[in-house]
Amino acid sequence: MAKQNNRRRTTSRKPKKKPAVLRKKLIKIGIIAASVLLFFGIIYHYRNGLAYYFSFKTDKVLDKDAKEKRLSDVRNYQILEKNDNKAIGIDVSEYQDQIDWDEVETVDDDYQLSFVFVRATVGNDRLDKRFQENWLGAKENKLIRGAYHYYRPNENSIEQAELFIKTVRLQKGDLPPVLDIERLPENQSVERLKVGLKRWLSKVEEHYKMKPIIYTGERYYDDFLKEEFSDYLFWIANYNFYREKMKEDWLFWQFTEKASASGIKGNVDVNVFNGDLQQLQFITKE
């Protein structure tokens, strides 16, 4: 007689999902959901700028001669719209080539221009090729004008100041002189650079009886100038997409280098003054 097999048959069970796998899937779903929300949040935030870009605004009429729009226009429109109570201006140099000053009135066809900064000198030996015509053109077009000097860190600061003084004659209604510093020195320390900047600023202030303005980038300002030059007013450049408001301690904010202005071919820098036109006039030469 055959022996009965008493072994119990084992039933196969599906393995349970490990908690770690489930957690990863939940995290992935959460990231996707957050990304979707962020995307639509950005669309909503920039809805006016995007409407302008795609010409969905009812007061925008496209024709065959309409200017080509760029994505940078979305941010430009957003900032200009938020600062329509402030004075708007541009800055120019020989890089804008010949400017039709009789036509220089608006930025992006909508926003009235109140002021312009004109590059006058570079280092200790170079004049901007179009300074005189731009300087006179701005005055004739009744724009509040200012002149700036591009500072070369490795050249003598007094010679640079003397070149600017020799070139620029400020009149009643003109803005204070501007020192443009953007680069670090190659053959001297940052401390020596600061000494040179102070010498330029002092000599120019003594001549014009006006405290100069300093132009620089936001990071340069934070890293090298903010503490030691705190008694000066600053014109700050920041083109980052996330930046939509100027800080309270900025006098001017250059928010883009890719805008269009009537009377100027190609791109131009646009700036916001931290105040209205009347307040801008208050800081001009008496």
Active site residues: 91, 182
**Is the CB of residue 88 less than 8 Å from the CB of residue 111?**
yes
The DSSP secondary structure of 110-158, one letter per residue, reads TEEEEEEEEEEEETTTEE-TTHHHHHHHHHHTT-EEEEEEE--TTS-HH
Distance of CA 134 to the CA centre of its chain: 22
Rounded to whole angstroms, the Cα distance separating 164 from 230 reads: 23
**Is the CB of residue 253 less than 8 Å from the CB of residue 272?**
yes
**Is the CB of residue 91 less than 8 Å from the CB of residue 148?**
yes
State the DSSP H helix or E strand holding residue 227, giving kind and residue range, or none if neither: none
Rounded to whole angstroms, the Cα distance separating 167 from 162 reads: 9
